[in-house]
């Protein structure tokens, strides 16, 4: 019986058939997100398209003060890029960031933001 062959769980049923039967029995207890993932794996529904906007550098030079200090969030909004992208550019040396002495957080000067923007256009 099934002890001899681990692929045969019950005579007359394949693993896929038993998995489907088990899924039907457990369906009320499975969270909606897991059900969606299972349905995607089975190919019954198409994955959702991302609703996230594609971002990119703004086309006009930012109108900001060269001496202004901007947080990562502010600088990324000014340039219309994600914070992760801005941090990656900083790590790659494309833009210089400084650290505030008061709280130890990064900031970018207006001049550095404009310099990065000019390097992209």
Q: How many Å apart are CA 25 and CA 23, to the nearest integer?
A: 5
Q: What per-residue confidence (pLDDT) applies to 121?
A: 72
Q: Do residues 92 and 83 make contact, with C-beta atoms less than 8 angstroms apart? A: no
pTM: 0.54
Enclosing H/E stretch for 89: helix 83-91
| Tens digit of each residue's pLDDT (9 = 90 or more) over 22-56 | 777 777 776 666 767 766 766 654 545 544 444 57
**For the residues 4-9, what does the mean pLDDT come to?**
55
Q: Where in the chain is the domain with CATH 1.10.1660.10?
A: 69-120
| Tens digit of each residue's pLDDT (9 = 90 or more) over 64-120 | 999 999 999 999 999 999 999 999 999 999 999 999 998 999 999 999 999 999 888
Classified by CATH at the fold level, domain 69-120 comes out as Multidrug-efflux Transporter Regulator; Chain: A; Domain 2 (1.10.1660)
Enclosing H/E stretch for 65: none
Q: Do residues 62 and 117 make contact, with C-beta atoms less than 8 angstroms apart? A: yes
| Beta pairing partners, 98 | 107
């Amino acid at each position: 019986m099934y002890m001899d062959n681990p692929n045969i769980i019950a005579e007359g049923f394949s693993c896929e058939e038993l998995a489907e039967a088990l899924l039907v029995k457990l369906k009320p207890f499975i969270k909606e997100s897991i059900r969606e993932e299972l349905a995607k794996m089975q190919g019954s529904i198409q994955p959702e398209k991302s609703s996230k906007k594609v971002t990119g550098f703004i086309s006009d030079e930012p109108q900001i003060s060269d001496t202004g200090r901007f947080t990562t969030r502010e600088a990324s909004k000014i340039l219309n890029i994600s914070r992760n992208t801005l941090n990656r550019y900083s790590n790659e040396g494309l833009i210089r960031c400084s650290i505030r002495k008061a709280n130890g957080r990064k900031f970018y000067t207006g001049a550095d933001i404009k310099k990065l923007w000019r390097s992209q256009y």
